[in-house]
Amino acid sequence: MKVLVVDDSQMTRMVVAKTLRTFAEIEVTEAEDGRKAIEAFAQKEFDLVFSDWNMPNMNGLELLGEIRQRNKTVPVIMITTEGSKDRVQSAIALGVSDYLLKPFTPVALRDKVQKWVAAGTTAP
């Protein structure tokens, strides 16, 4: 399974990547912002994307829009501290798959992975 983790916080990327690797055979690619994520997305297919909302250069919502132009089915899970109705509606309109609220536990992260892998909605 190939997972893209996008967050401007190196610590958050490290925690998510390390936690993901404890669940199963998961190949994790990390990106520090949306632009780096799009570069990675152009080079290989991913089964799942975890993206922070607030990042420099290209925020999570802009990244989501770019991903959806390239791939309509890959699950994109926004990692955020903000869950305002307007923001959620904007993300839904662009095709977000799910949310993971910060701070999150390893169990919550595992549950999101299992939910989307079990749903069979992975990249072709």
Span 92-120, pLDDT tens digits: 888 999 998 888 999 999 999 989 887 66
Tell me the C-alpha to C-alpha distance, in Å, between residue 11 and each of 7, 19, 69, 72, 96. 9, 12, 29, 29, 24
Residue 98 burial class via C-beta count within 10 angstroms: exposed 0-12, middle 13-18, buried 19 and up? middle
Condensed to tens digits (0 to 9), the pLDDT of residues 60-88 reads: 999 999 999 999 999 999 998 876 677 77
Show the domains of the chain with their CATH numbers. Answer: 2-118 (3.40.50.2300)
Amino acid letter, residue 119: A
Of 36, 37, 17, the closest CA to residue 28 belongs to 17
How does the average pLDDT of the chain come out, rounded?
89
pTM: 0.90
Q: Give the whole-angstrom CA distance, residue 8 versus residue 98.
A: 20
User: Nearest to residue 123, comparing CAs of 21, 51, 15, 41?
Assistant: 41
- The three-state secondary structure class of 109 is helix
Give the pLDDT confidence score for residue 121 in this predicted structure. Answer: 46
| 4 vs 83: which has the higher pLDDT | 4
